Chains A and B, each alone.
Chain A
Amino acid sequence: MFDPYYLQQLAIGLSLGMTYALMAIGFTLIFGVLNVVNFAHGEIYTLGAFAGLVLISATAPPIVAVILGALAIGALAGFSLERIAFKPFRRFTDEASLKSRAMRESTLLSSLAVSIVVREALEIVFGSQMRSVPFDYLINTPVRVGPVILVTGDFIIFGVAAAMLIGLQYLLTRTRVGLAIRAVSNNPLGAKYVGIDTDRTIITTFVVGSMMGAAAGILMGLYYGAVFPAMGFTPGIKAFVAMVMGGLSSIPGAVICALILGISESMATTFVSSGWSDMVAYGFLILTLIFFPNGLFGARRERV
């Protein structure tokens, strides 16, 4: 009979993977449209968590209000991020500037700069230590499912990740906003000439992606019970790895790869010390880049 220990590890891995997936969805959405890596996505996640924490300590509202607050901050942060770090470098004036690497690299650096500034600012205001989330708000009540023990947060995270994926698919394929997003991601100049407001479409993409990032942040804060300025870094890296493995612009691909990452990390701790489990993520990244340069789901899927 299968050892329940492995089932438990599998469940832990799945929930870990889901947390990476939450982050990877917004990350991949923004990459798919602009073709640039948004290094500040991790800080959006952190901002979402802090927004929730501040709300909790100030007014102790119901949990739904906490999440709505985090979403609002995420939307605001996404909007500002686009205006500050991306818009000034975007010039759709001709084919050459669209494909220019210099332009792509400048937004890479400007978003990195924003991420550093935000992280340091949070440290100045809140200090660099972990702040714990009040016990009442934690989402880690144990739940027994057959031989496996999960916590309520696992179900919430699974539900939210699934809702995000389905919602995003609905947005992209069934709504006119989604049609515009896909058109801009395919060919911004062509979209502009048929009356699409590319600027507004890009802002919308940032707002949606960042709301997802902020939601991931507050959920993780409530799940682990700790919020700190550098908390966005590791999930940011994992989301990046999942995006690259998934083929850069495939959202379902990124989610599947995030799950693979989570499961293999938790399985790896069975055999090596847990300090090495991050090696699994980077090892996967290197293997993917060597054997599947287009990612595991790269060529076959529609972009975005």
Chain B
Amino acid sequence: MTHLLEIRNVSRRFGGVQAVGDVTAHVDEGELVGLIGPNGAGKTTLFNLISGFTPLSGGTVAFAGRTISGLKPNHVARLGISRTFQNLRVFPNMSVFDNVSVGAVGALPQGAFGALFGALHRRGRDRSAEISRRTWEALEAVGLTHVAAELAANLPYGQRKYLEIARALAMRPRFLILDEPAAGLNDTETRDLAAFIKRLHGQGLTIMLVEHDMTLVMGICQRILVLASGRKIADGTPDAIRTDAAVLEAYLGVDE
């Protein structure tokens, strides 16, 4: 059986710095996987390599049996991998509804003519209806329907995070990558977020999550990958990771 996501011997150098070195890992359909590691371990770089944003220096990435390394981010996104960002990338001067429909539009590509004059023929109208249906559905999933007409810039920080997740969900992804979703949230908000991620996972979505908040990661993930200095040092259940010698060393250092 092939894995949904398969990362083989992936590496990336920035000048003389080896940001990610020879990482091999996989994610199976339906998993909820955590990716942790000390600062500068290469977590975000690994995400960027998967989503096609940063070209690989070596190795391959395959998604659903198809090699995706070398594809542009918009192609990778259309294949079913969507992501959110550590520092948010919502569209501040667009309404919440429009923000999310960009995701739906991005996932349903079509020619320029149809996109311009779609409103004038029946198939185009069906498509518009489909886009607005997916948009409302995603807004409902994150609980932002009541602010749909609001400008994204006017939302509080926590809601902007959910907005970004809604935009990713509107693409109907097979695989969702969340880059530090709990950063900047307080304890209550983090607990709500954990419940929300679990609910998404419960609906059958495969999720990978980078997070500094250990209680969140340990609490919801089925499996955890640990990176340190660009290398994978551990891969296992939360309980195994908690007692792993290499992980403790990477996080706490070794006594001389």
A interface residue numbers (CB < 8 A to B): 93, 95, 171, 174-177, 179-180, 182-183, 186-187, 189-198, 204, 302-303
Chain B residues whose C-beta falls within 8 Å of the C-beta of A192 in the assembled complex: 53, 72-74, 77
> Which residues 133-163 in B have Cβ within 8 Å of A in the complex?
151
Chain A residues whose C-beta falls within 8 Å of the C-beta of B116 in the assembled complex: 171, 175, 177
Distance (whole angstroms) from the CB of B129 to the closest CB of chain A: 13
Cα of A204 to Cα of B78 in the assembled complex, Å? 20
Known: A93-B53, A192-B77, A195-B107. 8 other contacts (CB 8 A): A180-B102, A186-B92, A194-B106, A194-B170, A195-B77, A195-B106, A302-B94, A302-B151
Distance (whole angstroms) from the CB of A209 to the closest CB of chain B: 15
Chain B residues whose C-beta falls within 8 Å of the C-beta of A177 in the assembled complex: 112, 115-116
Cα of A176 to Cα of B118 in the assembled complex, Å? 8
Chain B residues whose C-beta falls within 8 Å of the C-beta of A195 in the assembled complex: 74, 77-78, 103, 105-107, 109, 171
Report yes or no: A198 in contact with B74, Cβ–Cβ below 8 A: yes
Query: Please, which residue of chain B has its CB at the minimum distance from the CB of A195?
Result: B106
Report yes or no: B119 in contact with A194, Cβ–Cβ below 8 A: no
Q: Is B232 on the interface with A (CB-CB < 8 A)? A: no
Chain A residues whose C-beta falls within 8 Å of the C-beta of B171 in the assembled complex: 194-195
Report yes or no: A176 in contact with B131, Cβ–Cβ below 8 A: yes
Query: Please, which residue of chain A has its CB at the minimum distance from the CB of B72?
Result: A192
Distance (whole angstroms) from the CB of B170 to the closest CB of chain A: 8
Query: Please, which residue of chain A has its CB at the minimum distance from the CB of B117?
Result: A175
Cα of A195 to Cα of B78 in the assembled complex, Å? 6
Known pairs A193-B77, A195-B78, A302-B93; A183 contacts B102 (CB<8 A): yes
Known pairs A175-B116, A175-B118, A182-B94; A193 contacts B102 (CB<8 A): no
Q: What 10 A-B pairs have minimum CB-CB distances, sorted nearest first?
A: A195-B106, A190-B89, A186-B91, A195-B77, A194-B106, A176-B115, A183-B102, A194-B103, A177-B115, A192-B73
Cα of A196 to Cα of B102 in the assembled complex, Å? 8
Known pairs A186-B93, A204-B112; A194 contacts B167 (CB<8 A): yes
Chain B residues whose C-beta falls within 8 Å of the C-beta of A189 in the assembled complex: 53, 89
Chain A residues whose C-beta falls within 8 Å of the C-beta of B85 in the assembled complex: 190, 193
Distance (whole angstroms) from the CB of B27 to the closest CB of chain A: 18
Chain B residues whose C-beta falls within 8 Å of the C-beta of A191 in the assembled complex: 91, 102, 106
Chain B residues whose C-beta falls within 8 Å of the C-beta of A196 in the assembled complex: 74, 102, 105-106
Query: Please, which residue of chain B has its CB at the minimum distance from the CB of A200?
Result: B112
Known pairs A186-B94, A194-B82, A302-B93; A180 contacts B105 (CB<8 A): yes
Chain A residues whose C-beta falls within 8 Å of the C-beta of B83 in the assembled complex: 193
- Residues 51-69 of B, flagged 1 when their CB comes within 8 A of A and 0 if not, give 1011000000000000000
B93, B101, B109, B167: residue with the most chain A Cβ atoms closer than 10 Å: B93
Contact of A194 among B77, B87, B115, B151 (CB under 8 A): B77
Contact of B101 among A93, A179, A186, A302 (CB under 8 A): A179
Q: List 23 A-B contacts (CB under 8 A).
A: A93-B54, A95-B87, A174-B119, A175-B118, A176-B105, A176-B115, A176-B131, A177-B112, A177-B115, A182-B91, A191-B106, A192-B72, A192-B73, A193-B53, A193-B73, A193-B85, A194-B103, A194-B170, A195-B74, A195-B171, A196-B102, A196-B105, A302-B94
Q: Is B90 on the interface with A (CB-CB < 8 A)? A: yes
Chain A residues whose C-beta falls within 8 Å of the C-beta of B170 in the assembled complex: 194
Cα of A198 to Cα of B167 in the assembled complex, Å? 17
B53, B72, B73, B82: residue with the most chain A Cβ atoms closer than 10 Å: B73
Chain A residues whose C-beta falls within 8 Å of the C-beta of B6 in the assembled complex: none
Report yes or no: B105 in contact with A179, Cβ–Cβ below 8 A: yes
Cα of A201 to Cα of B110 in the assembled complex, Å? 13
Known pairs A171-B116, A175-B115, A196-B105; A183 contacts B77 (CB<8 A): no
Cα of A192 to Cα of B81 in the assembled complex, Å? 12
Cα of A5 to Cα of B219 in the assembled complex, Å? 80
Chain A residues whose C-beta falls within 8 Å of the C-beta of B118 in the assembled complex: 175-176
Cα of A176 to Cα of B129 in the assembled complex, Å? 12
Chain A residues whose C-beta falls within 8 Å of the C-beta of B90 in the assembled complex: 187, 190
Distance (whole angstroms) from the CB of A125 to the closest CB of chain B: 32
Cα of A174 to Cα of B168 in the assembled complex, Å? 22
Query: Please, which residue of chain B has its CB at the minimum distance from the CB of A196?
Result: B106
